[in-house]
């Protein structure tokens, strides 16, 4: 059996014998760029139906069709983990979204804090980065990337029982996430990474007063926001997530 060299995210339903019509950009990529032909295999996923092996049934540069042959991987949902972060420079924001998708975030939420450097994002572009990351890492689920939200409003409407891992560079020596989570109610979690300028005194005071917030240090050195996001998700996944 020929090995599939292309893996794509599509929104259409997937199932045994299902025919998948391709949009123009998808057809151009498969047949114009990748030079695929009728009978060639492609792996598809849609975030709902798992991963499927499909074969090209119609091929031309403007449209085409694929046919689902069989499931290759069931849907694998990530842990109920949100990543909240203050947007920074474009390339580093892209990096955070990509790594969050690869590392198993269920939802990615850009937040506007008092010292956030960027007060706008392109949500559609960041969502596309999350899709690309899922395609490349073998995931069957694509996390939602929310539009930019104000941190104070988000905290005011915080969902019941969701715990918050508040990463604060000023709190060296605080407990690890494993210790901070001991005794916490079962439920979803969120990780909060601040802006390059850090949190304001008022934001720190409010966060520390919240019953669901757990202040955590990421070590004795101040990390860049993109590095901090990866470090925090690694700690959480190792201690509380699906890394085992």
The per-residue pLDDT for range 42-86, each reduced to its tens digit, is 999 999 999 999 999 999 878 899 999 999 999 999 999 999 999
State whether 167 and 86 are in the same domain: yes
- DSSP per-residue codes, 137-190: HT-S---EEPPPEEHHHHHHTPPTT-EEEEE-TT-TTPPPHHHHHTTPPSS-EE
Q: Residue 126 carries which DSSP code?
A: H
Would 50 be classed as within a structural domain? yes
Residues 50 and 94 in one domain: no
**Residues 6+ away with beta carbon under 8 Å from 58:** 38, 64, 65
pLDDT per residue as tens, the chain (244 positions): 789 999 999 999 999 999 999 999 999 999 999 999 999 999 999 999 999 999 999 998 788 999 999 999 999 999 999 999 999 999 999 999 999 999 999 999 999 999 998 778 999 999 999 999 999 999 999 999 999 999 999 999 999 889 999 988 776 666 556 565 655 556 799 999 999 888 999 999 999 999 999 888 888 888 999 999 999 999 899 888 898 6
What is the structure's pLDDT at 181?
60
Write down the pLDDT at residue 168.
85
* Coil, strand or helix at 206: helix
Q: Which two tokens stand for residue 228?
A: 């901090």
Q: What is the pLDDT of residue 179?
A: 62
One domain, residues 98 and 173: yes
What is this structure's pTM?
0.91
The two tokens of residue 1 are 């059996």
Residue 1 belongs to a domain: no
Q: Which domain holds residue 115?
A: 81-240
Last residue of one domain, picked from the residues 38, 73, 108: 73
- pLDDT of 118 reads 79
Q: Given the structure tokens 């966060």, which residue do they identify? A: 207
Q: What is the CATH number of the domain that holds 62?
A: 2.40.240.20
């Amino acid at each position: 059996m020929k090995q599939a060299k292309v893996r794509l995210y599509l929104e259409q339903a997937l199932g045994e014998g299902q025919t998948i019509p391709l949009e123009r950009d998808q057809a151009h990529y498969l047949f114009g760029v990748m030079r695929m032909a009728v009978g060639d295999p492609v792996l598809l996923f849609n975030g709902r139906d798992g991963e499927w092996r499909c074969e090209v049934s119609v091929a031309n540069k403007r449209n085409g069709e694929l046919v689902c042959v069989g499931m290759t991987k069931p849907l694998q949902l990530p842990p109920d983990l949100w990543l909240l972060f203050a947007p920074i420079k474009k390339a580093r924001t892209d990096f955070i979204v990509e790594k969050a998708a690869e590392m198993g975030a269920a939802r990615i939420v850009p937040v506007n804090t008092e010292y956030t450097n960027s007060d706008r994002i392109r949500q559609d572009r960041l969502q596309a980065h999350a899709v690309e990351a899922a395609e490349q890492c073998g995931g069957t689920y694509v996390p939602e990337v929310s539009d930019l939200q104000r941190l104070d409003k988000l905290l005011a409407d915080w969902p019941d029982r969701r715990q918050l891992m508040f990463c604060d560079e000023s709190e060296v020596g605080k407990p690890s996430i494993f210790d901070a989570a001991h005794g916490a109610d079962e439920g979803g979690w969120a990780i909060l990474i601040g802006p390059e300028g850090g949190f304001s005194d008022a934001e720190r005071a409010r966060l520390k007063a919240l019953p669901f917030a757990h202040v955590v240090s990421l070590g004795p050195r101040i990390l860049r926001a993109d590095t901090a996001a990866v470090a925090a998700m690694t700690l959480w996944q190792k201690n509380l997530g699906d890394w085992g």
